[in-house]
């Protein structure tokens, strides 16, 4: 329990000052948080980590150039005693994808404050906090639908996907529509984001 591990030093890494300050404000008032620091970039965060040795690091997945994921992996490799939580703009990353990058939890930034505090406290106590598995609909994507999703998420147009998979444009359009429906999204950008969150693509 927290009485055993002691007050926690927490670092929030987010390039958006308001979001970083918001998370800090939520945590700073908790009796189990000794101090809550904020960094606006992966480089700044690494300097803070070396100087202050936080026990918990909350990293935004939206840091420029995927540097948030790089920082997460670096901490996992060089300072495995630090517990890393990946924070995403919308739905949290899947457990598989978060663990792949070295995190012990993944949370959405806009989750209710009380739920966020409970989840982060659970991590501080040695637990994990991950989203529920993909919805049944998402899990039922066919092999061909997954192929189309992979190419769409990489930025290819429907004609380009059709050429790559040796399918007609109409067939690709039908598969894409089925993917959108099963993932509960409206367009290509949302499909790519949702697929990554569910761990369907890397």
> Please, are residues 13 and 43 in contact by the beta-carbon 8 Å criterion?
no
Residue bearing tokens 């300050």: 21
Q: Residue 1 has what pLDDT? A: 43
Tally of CA atoms within 13 A in the half-sphere of 134 that contains its CB: 20
Q: Residue 91 has what pLDDT? A: 62
Q: Residue 79 has what pLDDT? A: 95
Mean per-residue pLDDT pooled into runs of 10, the chain (202 residues): 71 89 88 94 94 95 84 95 89 80 89 86 92 65 89 92 94 94 87 78 66
Q: Class of the 2-124 domain?
A: alpha beta
**Residues 29, 36: Cα–Cα separation, whole Å:** 10
Q: What is the DSSP letter of 129?
A: B
> Please, are residues 73 and 47 in contact by the beta-carbon 8 Å criterion?
no
- Indicate the domain borders of the chain: 2-124, 136-197
Q: Residue 3 has what pLDDT? A: 46
Fold classified for 136-197 = Arc Repressor Mutant, subunit A (1.10.10)
> Please, are residues 187 and 196 in contact by the beta-carbon 8 Å criterion?
no
């Amino acid at each position: 329990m927290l009485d055993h591990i002691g007050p926690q030093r927490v670092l929030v890494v987010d390039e958006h000052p308001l979001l970083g300050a918001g998370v800090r404000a939520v945590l700073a008032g908790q009796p189990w948080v000794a101090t809550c620091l904020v960094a606006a970039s992966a480089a700044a965060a690494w300097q803070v980590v070396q100087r202050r040795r936080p026990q918990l690091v909350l990293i935004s997945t939206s840091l420029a150039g995927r540097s948030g994921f790089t920082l997460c992996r670096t901490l996992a490799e060089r300072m495995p005693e630090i517990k890393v939580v990946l924070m995403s703009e919308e739905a949290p990353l899947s457990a598989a994808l978060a663990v792949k990058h070295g995190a012990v939890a993944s949370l959405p930034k806009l989750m209710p404050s009380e739920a966020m505090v409970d989840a982060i406290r659970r991590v501080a106590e040695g637990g994990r906090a991950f989203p529920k598995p993909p919805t049944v609909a998402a899990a039922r994507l066919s092999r061909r639908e997954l192929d189309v999703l992979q190419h769409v998420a990489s930025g290819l147009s429907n004609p380009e996907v059709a050429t790559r998979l040796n399918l007609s444009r109409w067939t690709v359009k039908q598969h894409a529509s089925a993917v959108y429906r099963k993932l509960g999204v409206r367009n290509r950008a949302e499909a790519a984001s949702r697929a990554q969150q569910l761990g369907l693509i890397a």
